[in-house]
A and B are shown apart, each in its own frame.
Chain A
């Protein structure tokens, strides 16, 4: 897929109503490069953009506490529906949903396997890491200024 531009419509809901916009980038672009700003009204968004080749894009979104998240997807010549859950929910990256496009479905399936086999355990161990740090028994060296 290349040269001819295709149109992708992204629709969806964002459960965290403090999110007012999604920033949409090609995955490889840095924040200072061209960016689509997708407005979110009452937790809903509907936006169409053009793309010309198969590559990953990413949403970046921030809540009122400036906590942010990145969510990748693959545009298709058609419509994709998203359900994005509050960032505060532990493992929200596992329950966010994408519907539309074979590669996005493949990604969801892969993410579920990796999430349940590895990422959930890693998250739990990092929670334990935090507890040890809070108790002052994780590291022997403290660094601050």
Chain B
């Protein structure tokens, strides 16, 4: 895949990411090697999980925290991780890891296609509180979680601009939320440059833990396409996927 532009790179990145899940992108030799690595990671996971079950100490809780941070392990071992969490949160009822892990496990179950979006209130750039559900207004809405420091997010947002312009009067909307740290100077500069034509809200210093609630505490961002009834239609769809869905639904 070589299409020259950064936007094309990020679009193709998502296609490649899907192929990588089952190593469909690899040569037979590459696939055999990747499967060996997978099996070693699985064995390492089992060893750690058994350690956790036999040792309900703070070291085990640290290991569990690491498992929860890793999306791939969550996908593969969710039930086991949940079981270990029940064990350790009972052992450490007041520990600060409890909230993080509980929210991460919750978001892992909730942020799925067909489930309802998670509502929140965040300030706009003038400090006025805005509740997401109030702004959906019966439109299909792309929630764009991004940040001025996330190059990939900005490239993705750029690919949405032409779709927004084409469908904004037909029942499509975009709402951005920028995850910023310390202040909004970089965000203001980025918006001045990019001129994204939709409403942008602010998540400053993770005050509302939106990235954790949406299951991406360690990522720059993601997008969610939300249907008129509040159900998630697609997670991080590419621009052409959004267009196909809008063509079908609007």
Contacts and interface: CB of A to CB of B under 8 A. Distances in A.
Interface string B1-29: 11111101100110010010000011101
A55 B95 contact: yes
Contacts, number: 104
Interface in A1-24: 2
B48 A114 contact: yes
A138 B27 contact: yes
B96 A28 contact: yes
A86 B33 CA distance: 29
Contacts of B9: 143-145
B59 A55 contact: no
From DSSP, what is the main secondary structure of chain B's interface residues? helix
Given A125-B33, A143-B16, A145-B5, A114 B97 contact: no
Contacts of A110: 51, 59
Contact of A118 (B29, B40, B97): B40
Interface stretch (A39-47, A90-98, A126-134): A126-134
A116 B96 CA distance: 32
Contact of A143 (B12, B57, B62, B65): B12
A32 B181 contact: yes
A35 interface: no
Interface residues of B, number: 43
B30 A137 contact: yes
Contacts of A30: 206
Give the contact-size bracket for chain A.
Answer: 35 or more
Nearest to B57: A103
Contacts of A27: 62, 65
B25 A118 contact: no
B245 interface: no
A56 B100 CA distance: 14
Contacts of B137: none
Nearest to A143: B1
B27 A140 contact: yes
A132 B33 contact: yes
Nearest to A57: B62
B90 interface: no
Given A126-B37, A139-B27, A141-B1, 11 more contacts: A28-B100, A53-B95, A103-B58, A117-B47, A122-B40, A132-B29, A137-B27, A140-B25, A143-B9, A144-B9, A145-B3
16 contacts: A27-B62, A55-B62, A103-B58, A110-B59, A117-B43, A118-B40, A118-B44, A125-B33, A129-B34, A138-B33, A141-B1, A141-B19, A142-B2, A145-B2, A145-B8, A145-B9
